[in-house]
Amino acid sequence: MKLKEYQKSLVEKAINIIHTHSMVYLAMETRTGKTPVSIMAASYIANEIGNPSILFSTKKSAMKSIDKTFRELQSDIPELEHISLQIVSMDSMHKVDWQPHRVLIIDEAHGIGAYPKPSKRAISLAGLSRDCIVIYLSATPTPESYSQIYHQLWAARSKSGLICGYKNFYAWARDYVVVKERRIAAGRVIKDYSGAKEKMIIPYLDEITVSITQKDAGFKQTEPQEIIWDIEMPQEVKDLLEALKKHRVTVYNGHEILAATAATLLSKVMQICSGTVIPEGHDKGIVISTYKARALDLLLAMHKRIAVYYVYKAEREMLISVFGDLIIEDATEFDAGLGKIFISQFVSGREGLNLRSTNCIVFFNIQHSYLSYAQTINRPQNINRTDPYKIVFLASKGGIEKKILKCVKGKRDYTLRYFKKDLGSIAADMS
């Protein structure tokens, strides 16, 4: 594998930033080559500091792909022959021993940006990054709020003036966040730290960031065609949903379904709309209707190879029971055969997977997160793609999916406050 000219330019920019800041953020859009650019930049730096050991942290589902890319680079670029690349999953970083003067590549770095308190991943990285170089990778560095940048820089032990001198996130937020109070369930009031002062933060990020869009990289086809497919909800599903929203408790085939809180009700409504539900006292969901799964027959016939993303484990079981041997859960195998359905849960498959062989991504259910939406719709993207691909959202008539989708496409996670507002209109739609 040889780098494209624009990727070589990005490597050079990344190295220059590392020389100044001991870290760099590769904020590159999906499929523009974050992996090869980061490996090449890391290899040059590793040679400079005399430590050929590079640690690459990524999602478990992407580890095979990362290793394949590294081997392909090694076969064509002699300078990489002596480089050692250790690939670990994000959730295993706490098992890795600290080593000074090592280059760390952190894939999907936005995943360590939780606030106001640092996540376990951020704490693990902070333990490894002392006296090390950190290369961050993400197409969406701060998907919901610029407040997500604080712990990313903190975990990398960044000397950036953006966080230097601040003891913790709360101290930093006094200067860089418009803090508001928000009322949640049971009348409780919490502080909302999402209102970061973007104009103050962006100049600092520009100093450590290398970025490129698909358009600037020469992609010929960058925008998918999005389709919302309204599917008629069976009467028994409608009745179950209406009873649960009205009484907060109902029974299905002897199973009690209870929604004592607004959060539980939101979860149950999402499940039922797609044909499953987790009854009271059960760890696993049950299938109440396969009406959405049957709609996939037409999409498979049209596109020959489709990828389906689901939210709940019971939806996975439903898809496997309906389609049997047509189901594939390994993206590499999926790339090789027609007439197959690749399935993945959003959180495990929205990042790091290359689904360039499909022309159709299906949202079987809608995850109430902008990050899931933004990352998933780009899975089929490729610099050589010229034909448009489709993103199909399966939405039950009278259900909640379209309301969640509208919210997340506006770059807002669908939270309880939106759900409470929507309850009345959902009930009206079903009447």
Condensed to tens digits (0 to 9), the pLDDT of residues 319-328 reads 999 999 999 9
* Helical (H) or strand (E) element with 174: helix 169-176
| Separation in Å, CA 272 to CA 235, 384, 392, 396, 423 | 12, 40, 19, 10, 15
5-212 and 225-430 agree in CATH topology? yes
Burial (CB count <10 Å: 0-12, 13-18, 19+), residue 317: middle
DSSP letter at 80? G
Whole-number pLDDT of residue 64: 87
Res. 157: pLDDT tops 90: yes
Helix axes 262-273, 235-247, angle to 10 degrees: 180
Task: Give the chain's largest Cα–Cα span.
Answer: 70
Considering only residues 216 and 381, tell me which one the structure prediction assigns the higher pLDDT. 216
Residues with Cβ < 8 Å from 141, sequence gap 6 or more? 25, 27, 109, 110, 113, 148, 149, 152, 205, 209
C-alpha–C-alpha distance, residues 431 and 429, integer Å: 6
Q: Is a pLDDT exceeding 70 seen at residue 337?
A: no
- 3-state class of 396 per DSSP? strand
Residue 320 and residue 327: Cα distance in Å, rounded?
Answer: 6
Q: In the structure, what pLDDT confidence band is assigned to residue 428 with cuts at 50, 70 and 90?
A: very low
Tokens representing residue 79 in the block: 């300078």
Residue 33 token pair: 């080559």
Q: What is the mean pLDDT of residues 4-12?
A: 95
> Which pLDDT belongs to residue 342?
92
Task: With cut-offs at 50, 70 and 90, classify the pLDDT of residue 430.
Answer: very low
- CATH number among 3.40.50.300, 3.90.1150.10, 3.40.605.10, 3.40.50.800, domain 225-430: 3.40.50.300
What confidence score (pLDDT) does residue 338 get?
66
Residue 388, preceding peptide bond in cis (omega within 30° of 0): no
Contact 404, 363 (CB under 8 A): no
How far is the C-alpha of 341 from the C-alpha of 183, rounded, in Å? 43
Name the residue ranges covered by the structural domains of the chain.
5-212, 225-430
What is the rounded CA–CA span in Å between residue 154 and residue 356?
35
Residue type, 72: E
Say if residue 424's pLDDT is above 70: no
Under 8 Å between Cβ of 244 and 410: no
Q: For strand 390-396 and strand 360-363, is the pairing parallel, antiparallel, or unpaired? A: parallel
What is the average pLDDT score of the chain?
89
The CATH number of 5-212 is which of 2.30.30.60, 1.20.1740.10, 3.40.30.10, 3.40.50.300?
3.40.50.300
389 against 166, higher pLDDT: 166
Residue 285: closest CA among 345, 362, 349, 373: 345
pLDDT attached to residue 277 = 95
134 or 349, higher pLDDT: 134
Q: Look at residue 402 in the predicted model and tell me its pLDDT.
A: 92
Tell me, rounded to whole angstroms, the distance of Cα 8 from its chain centroid: 27
Instruction: Give the residue, 146 or 61, on which the prediction is more confident.
Output: 146
Q: How far is CA 365 from CA 85, 241, 277, 292, 369, in A?
A: 37, 16, 13, 9, 12
134 bridge partner residues: 23, 104
Q: Return the percent helix, strand and coil in the chain, to nearest 5.
A: 45, 20, 35
pLDDT tier, 27 (very low <50, low <70, confident <90, very high otherwise): very high
- Inter-CA distances, 117 with 121, 155, 162, Å: 12, 12, 18
At residue 334 the predicted structure's pLDDT band, cuts being 50, 70 and 90, is confident
